[in-house]
Structure 1
């Protein structure tokens, strides 16, 4: 990964963003779209490097269409910031002032009878405004039309995800040294957040600490429950480093576990390994889910594995592709996704183990998390 003199990864260049927008235009044409309309959010960051400081009711939209240069429509008061964006040299900026109709400014850039992909987080009021101005147009979400827009990472993106994963691993190694028993979940979560920031994360997205029966809720938010000796504790945490996501889960135990707790943990570990071994050239996304789920179902715990096996990761911690039954899309080199099977026994405890994985050019899987998947005993 190219690095600056400070040791940080070198910033993506205007040429990088130009190539991304060109691929988006090509993908749009292949999908039968007249173009894509990108609102502020992860797609805009990925395509241009622009992250508006103020996301308001004012229209900001990137218009990418085959055969024409990309144009970013912005409010006049935000144009100076847009002009400083890393990808600004690869596009044109068209601004509009308060009191003017932003949809009239945008309309000439669009095919009056075209079908457009729209980023999922676009405001409904803006989509309706465009429809009113151009009643012949139609729209589809980018997740539906171009789900793989950001899915396949280049070598520089992979290096950033690897660095984020290593930093999360570092945080996990340190959290094992703190005391759990007698402390609230929120206190351990605060420790985790501080460790992520200390490892170089610029942003902490989540720190799930699910102790005892709370661990049976996959998305439990750390609460005021006091962690007790004998608790199983699910730790799921991640955020952004160098603009790319980390996300890992390990399940620890306060003191010695029971035979059943150890058996369930071993089963989830076996399922996670089976999912990883299913990552290979020619496999479909659903094959990873099937491999992990089969281990758990065959052991009689199928009804307690209540979510998909994985999700994509990149400039956000959740994005396509998804490792779930029915997703027949092939896994290709450069895709990055989680493998995180779990067993959740209501009112008792839960276990989840998660790594971020990619398919390499050799046709084999590579993990971005290398901490032990064995059950760790904490105090």
Structure 2
């Protein structure tokens, strides 16, 4: 996802509008890929490509859910680099800077293939129809729900139910509060253009984190006794909190490590297969500190914090719960999808 409706590029970008608060452009392509194909795009194995970036928290959600559900064979993954050129996310991690399946250098090309002259944000995650090369959707919030409910024919044996029908009302309610005050709240702090808008966003962010700290003090997961969509959505912000949001976005009342329950919860998920093995701390820091040049004009990427503590014991098992419910852990990530050595504290698969 782009972080702002303004421009993004490798040498600078406009994210802060002086004198005002940050408003996210949420005009996404809301076409859905469904089992019945009612929007013209039926679920089909091998037909679509998920384009993501490890740096982006919104894209990270889709990578986690895809792993947990075992959709790797049905839905291929294309990865953009952590920064952008002046037009869009780019495939600069691939040989020749071209996605090997879509044969394009910029995600923008897939948007233009469907909507010539597309004038909204070129965002990740996006799903592209491989036969036509055209983007289908970049509606990240609906995307992971559809992975759980529409792609069931391609779930792995033992895939967890991340969106159980009996809990959907509570999951949606918790996820909406988390989005408003935490997922998007950190951006409202970081891209605030006035002291008043920053102060208000800061207070809302930490009030919600305090509530989540209390909620997670007595329960292992946000809703029910196993991992759900709500946990995925909170995790991708928490894992970026101390490396980026605490300093870069001035969310500095206290670090994540000062919240006993939230810090334990975040480590519990990080150490759960499918979560931490999708996280690339190097790319995360590169994205924020190199791209947001009006927030960080020097483009210096900090060396800290020490990330080895993500592997420290969390003790959350004492609260009970079963991470995957009646399901099982996913297998190790595919060789082509392993986070590069040195980019994560996790031990790499043999």
Band of TM-score, shorter chain:
under 0.3
Structure ranking higher on relative contact order (CA contacts 8 Å, 6+ apart): 2
Compute the TM-score of the two structures, normalised by the length of structure 1. Answer: 0.26
Greater share of helix = 2
Pair member with larger Rg: 1
Greater share of strand = 1
